[in-house]
Chain A
Amino acid sequence: MHRLLTWIFEPGFFANQPVHVAIVIGAAVAVVSGVVGVFTILRGQSFGGHALTDVSTAGGSGATLIGASPLVGFVGAGVIGAVVMDAIGIRRVRGRDLATGIVLGASIGLAALFLDLDATTSNTTGATQHILFGSIFTTESSTVPIVIAFSVVSLGIMAFIYRPLLLSSVSDDIAAARGVPLRLVGLLFMLALAVAVGLSALAIGSILSTALLIGPAATALRLTRRLGWSLVVACLIGVGGTWLGLLLAYDSYDWSSSHQGIPVSFFIVAVQFLAYLASGLPFARAARGRRPLGISAVG
């Protein structure tokens, strides 16, 4: 038994300081992303969420350039991007996709410039890799309180707008008839989304953070048709998958003789992707009823 355990958990996993930090950050990020992600999918804003990750790439690389913390850049740029997208966003879905794409393209251009300047002018090494593909194992423990604070803000917004957001996600018309301020609710949701994206950018990298946002939520929505449950399931899958990814990455140092580890972000993304594929298998589909989610969510 002990042998099996040491085979699964390589020696030193639980005593390792960076692993402790990673476990805490990973859990906080996964919970926020899970809750926000479910609504992102229900509202059909996967592309918007993904675009915010690219906006946050520009923010993170810009912050590194002026010597600030990437996390502040991720979240700050995300919030600005959310407001801009909300301002130029057109009501029609197709127009919204175009506006989103333009914001995305422009911010990737900015990111290209900032990352290039990072590499050529400042003496920070590895900025490109950290910003694009995450730094969960190299984050300092002093960042943990900031991560927790951002998580509380994002979850607080979600709790505050939960009912009206739910209503407007199911039907804008019903929500408007009941006097829900659609514009304000939409904007607040985009802000919560921006914070969630910024957090997961810190953990698994700005261009991969969509995985934690969409992956667990998509799997959860396939497994259960009740909204409350889907939030819980999304958080569980998110946290479990992230921890599994951390463990696999830690173990992978001993897989090859050269002790060349495999990037932790790869494992976290791969676990979420496989979980999503598995949720489409026949036995998982049978567990789900036939009623569409929208109906049971209101009832």
Chain B
Amino acid sequence: MFGPSFLNAWYVGTIVAVIAGTVGFFVVLRGEAFPAHAIPNGAFAGAAAANVLGFNTLLGLAVCAVLAAFGIATLGRRDRHDVVTALALVMMLALGALFLSRSGQYEPQIFSLLFGEVLGVSTIELLPVAALAVVCVAAVVFLYRPLMLSSVVPEIGEAKGVRASRMELAFLVVVALATAMTVPVVGALLIFSLMIGPPAAARSFTDRPLSALLLSVAIALVTVWLSIAISYFSNWPIGFFVGTLGAFSYAVGRGWAALRRRRSVAPVLVGP
């Protein structure tokens, strides 16, 4: 399980978990679950296109994910945000289907792009993934204060000169970059589970933002490590374990929060 051919899976899984836990924390805080679900699907189209045209997959993923982020942020200003997100999402998925139908090996490709294939990571791919991860974490650290401000109290943010719409765009681009590197590993559909489950659970356990952020990363790490290990032994797809463990951690978090509320009379500060 820890042999040289399998080591890359552990490295990449760890990087992915750290990124998903960090970025996902702000996704949950800002209530942007739907865009966070849609952008990976845009990336799916990019990967499929890169496949057909013979580009680097990671490049295709990054370009298309960022395009999807811009599209949602721009179109969303004019109409209902969720409607635009939904339509952009299916359009990108349909494009992905189109590109994949042009390439020969339709079915295995769909499966690995949508549901992930942690074993398919080679050592050459490791470096760009790590580089993108550093960029993502740096962006979150750089944006931490204004992002926090505009997420929790947008009015005060505006008063201090943090433009909500610009912050939205910047954040969606960070989500896009995080997506680009994680799609080949856990798949376009399941990176979402990893971005939502652990942070949502973490927020049930603590109210302090920084500890919640760290806890979110920790839960994401445990989820990914467990998923890789069980997937190795059972030979079942890793996506199944990521999805169910994500839901499970959320359920535990909800249960804990309910218990805590019953015990203490003092109102628990639940975020916006």
Inter-chain contact B196/A101, CB cutoff 8 Å: yes
Q: Fill in one digit per residue for A189-220: 1 if any B CB lies within 8 Å of its CB, else 0.
A: 00000000000000001011011001100100
Instruction: List B84-106 residues whose CB lies under 8 Å from chain A.
Output: 85-87, 89-91, 93-95, 97-98, 101-102, 106
A215-272, CB < 8 A from B: 215, 218, 222, 260, 262-263, 265-266, 269-270, 272
Are A208 and B90 CB-contacts (below 8 A) given A97-B31, A104-B192, A105-B190? Answer: yes
Cα distance, A280 to B87, chains bound together (Å): 14
Interface 0/1 of B110-145, CB less than 8 Å to A? 110011100000000000000000000000000000
Q: Is the CB of A105 within 8 A of B79?
A: no
Cβ of B46 within 8 Å of any chain A Cβ, yes or no, is no
Please tell me if the beta carbons of A214 and B37 are within 8 angstroms of each other in the complex: no
Q: Which of B94, B110, B242, B247 is the one whose CB lies under 8 Å from A211? A: B94
Chain A interface extent, by class = 35 or more
Chain B residue nearest to A54 in the complex (CB): B189
* Distance (whole angstroms) from the CB of A291 to the closest CB of chain B: 17
User: Can you name the residue of chain B whose Cβ is closest to the Cβ of A108?
Assistant: B189
- A214 near B83: Cβ-Cβ < 8 Å: yes
B111 touches which of A97, A104, A119, A273 (Cβ 8 Å): A119
B234-272 residues at the A interface, CB under 8 angstroms:
236-237, 239-244, 246-247, 250, 272
CA distance A273 to B93 in the complex (A): 12
Given contact pairs A107-B243, A108-B190, a sample of 12 additional A-B residue pairs in the complex whose CB atoms are under 8 Å apart: A46-B86, A98-B31, A101-B196, A101-B200, A109-B190, A110-B244, A132-B97, A207-B93, A211-B90, A214-B83, A215-B90, A266-B98
What is the predominant secondary structure among interface residues of chain A facing chain B? helix
Most buried by A among B33, B95, B193, B250: B33
> Known contacts A41-B80, A98-B200, A102-B246; is A108 also within 8 Å of B94 by CB?
no
Give the contacts of B190-235 with A (CB-CB under 8 A): 190, 192-193, 196-197, 200
In the complex with contacts A47-B82, A101-B192, A215-B240 CB distance below 8 A: no
Complex contact B243–A105 (CB within 8 A): yes
What chain B residues lie within 8 Å of A159 (beta carbons)? none
Given A41-B80, A218-B83, A222-B79, residue A105 in contact with residue B93 (CB < 8 A):
no
Of A44, A211, A266, the contact of B82 (CB 8 Å cutoff): A44
- Complex Cα–Cα for A132 and B192 (A): 18
> A100 on the interface (CB 8 Å rule)?
yes
Cβ of A91 under 8 Å from chain B: no
Assuming the contacts A110-B243, A263-B97, asked whether A269 and B90 have C-beta atoms less than 8 A apart, the reply is yes
A106 near B110 with CB under 8 A, answer no
| B226 smallest CB distance to A (angstroms) | 13
List residues of chain B with CB within 8 A of the CB of A154: none
B78 within 8 A of A: yes
Cross-chain pairs A/B with CB under 8 angstroms, 28 sampled: A47-B34, A94-B272, A97-B33, A98-B28, A98-B33, A101-B200, A102-B200, A102-B247, A106-B243, A108-B190, A109-B241, A109-B247, A110-B240, A112-B239, A113-B240, A116-B237, A119-B107, A128-B110, A128-B111, A129-B107, A207-B114, A222-B79, A262-B98, A263-B97, A263-B101, A266-B101, A270-B94, A280-B78
Q: Are A280 and B79 in contact (CB under 8 A)?
A: yes
Does the CB pair A105–B83 fall under 8 Å?
Answer: no
| Residue contact B82 to A208, C-beta cutoff 8 Å | no
A242 to chain B, nearest CB (A): 14
Q: Name the residue of chain A whose CB is nearest to the CB of B107.
A: A128
Q: A112 touching B240 by the CB < 8 A rule?
A: yes
Identity of the chain A residue whose Cβ is nearest the Cβ of B35 in the assembled complex: A47
Give B contacts to A, CB under 8 Å.
28, 31, 33-34, 37, 78-80, 82-83, 85-87, 89-91, 93-95, 97-98, 101-102, 106-107, 110-111, 114-116, 187, 189-190, 192-193, 196-197, 200, 236-237, 239-244, 246-247, 250, 272
Q: Are B86 and A210 in contact (CB under 8 A)?
A: yes
CA distance A214 to B250 in the complex (A): 29
Given A218-B79, A269-B94, are A129 and B240 neighbors across the interface (CB < 8 Å)?
Answer: no
Inter-chain contact B33/A100, CB cutoff 8 Å: yes
The CA-CA distance from A13 to B85 in the complex, in Å, is 35
Closest to A49 in B: B86
